[in-house]
Amino acid sequence: MYLCPQLFRKTVSTEKQSFDVVVIGGGCVGLAVAYKINMRHPHLKVAVLEKEDRLAPHQTGRNSGVIHSGIYYKPGSYKAKNCVEGRRELVAFAKEHHIAHDICGKVIAAVKESELAHMHKVFAHGQANGVEDIEIITGEQVREIEPYVKAIAGIRVGCTGIIDFPGVTRKLGELLEQKFPGSKVLLSTEAKDFVHHQGSTDVITNRGIVNARFVVSCAGLQSDRIAKKEGQKSDAAILGFRGDYYDLTEKGMSKVRHLVYPVPNPQFPFLGVHFTRMIHGGVECGPNAVFVFKREGYSRTSFSFRDTAQAFGFGGTWKFFGKHWKFGLDEYRGAFSKAYFLKRLQTLIPTLESDDIVASRCGVRAMALSPEGNMIDDFKIEFHGNAIHVLNAPSPAATACLAIGKAVEEMATEKFGL
């Protein structure tokens, strides 16, 4: 069903190659952007550059695999609009191309009285955003769906699901090369610098020069760096936050049927530790949100002097930590203490025991921060010269990838005169 990753081009000729549009970043947003541009303008030659040897190597391939409903997001925000529209298109795309997915539904569980006001606010957002198949339920109804969850009330979200996001990304790359002659996915090809000419840009890569009339950057954890190299003067900077996961053991899996989420803390953009059925089997729980000293470091001890120096050289980092140091310390406790992580999980499922969970994988999410130390919670896309930069695409960007791709295509069509 899928082309093997080896079939995508892993080399670029030492001679300059030319394309109409070069998209930097081989995650689901980058591939969706390339695909949407080519669908609207099939005569264009589009190239996707991915620095790793496979598609979806970082945020796309290391997220929880959840198809988000759109219930959390502020009405009128880009997140709200693109998540709801993107979810519906994503599910239709998965059905059409036989990509593994399951609309299994989830429960957002309120475990104490102080959470009820925000729970009702979340539900009101869902209604305003046009999210279908949602309802407020009692604690007893929560237990009918998830017998081991202790809650006083909750929200049933029937349209939430799980999906193989790397599979979505590979399929988009496959379609790009199959449908549009001259369009390519170039793996192991890192954009290192840019040289601007009249009417085009040379993208300097580790495997040669790729010339483009127009550039679109969807570089995730590297988005601010790519934008700066290309010439975009944005005041936002990317911080990385690692999310650690535990898997439920065979004994623990009997305690979770669907997806179980807490009522989120309104002060933070993270949804809190939760339980997620995985599309290829098993149930995982997490993630926490721990500042990382290496943007693409996937262990608790990963360190990069460059990444650390850049993070702490940005004034907004210090202001952010000054505001949220208590939250940060709490997250670090969960990162290094299984017992403490378990205690957080037991808030939702009190009978969970230590031998019900085992340490598993982790991922790193990109968070854009303003100079004032505020988290930029919405999608942030900027236009500059002959380039568009997707500077901030936090969750639910994977769910919304096709809608974001459409939005960028419309911007490119207008700004570039495609």
Per-residue pLDDT tens digits of the chain, which is 418 residues long: 334 444 454 444 457 899 999 999 999 999 999 999 999 999 999 999 999 999 999 999 999 999 999 999 999 999 999 999 999 999 999 999 999 999 999 999 999 999 999 999 999 999 999 999 999 999 999 999 999 999 999 999 999 999 999 999 999 999 999 999 999 999 999 999 999 999 999 999 999 999 999 999 999 999 999 999 999 988 889 999 999 999 999 999 999 999 999 999 887 667 789 999 999 999 999 998 899 999 999 998 899 999 999 999 999 999 999 988 888 888 888 788 999 999 999 999 999 999 999 999 999 999 999 999 999 989 999 998 999 999 999 999 999 999 999 999 999 999 999 9
Q: Which two tokens stand for residue 245?
A: 């996961």
Domain boundaries in the chain? 7-60+166-236+377-416, 237-375
Pairing status of strand 237-248 against strand 283-286? antiparallel
Count CA within 13 A, CB hemisphere, residue 2: 18
> What pLDDT is stored for residue 124 in this prediction?
98
CA 296 to chain centre: 14
Helix, strand or coil, per DSSP, at residue 202: strand
310 Cβ partners below 8 Å, 6+ apart?
Answer: 237
Nearest C-alpha neighbor of 130 from the set 81, 170, 198: 81
Q: What is the pLDDT of residue 10?
A: 46
Q: Residue 192's closest CA among 166, 216, 162, 228?
A: 228
Instruction: Please state, in angstroms and rounded to a whole number, the distance separating the CA atoms of residues 168 and 171.
Output: 5
- pLDDT score at 5: 41
pLDDT of residue 8: 54
Torsions phi, psi of 356, nearest 5?
A: -85, -15
- Bridge partners for 136 per DSSP: 155
Q: Are 149 and 110 in contact (CB under 8 A)?
A: no
**pTM, full prediction:** 0.94
Given CATH 3.30.9, say whether it is the number of domain 237-375: yes
Please name the CATH architecture into which domain 7-60+166-236+377-416 falls.
3-Layer(bba) Sandwich (3.50)
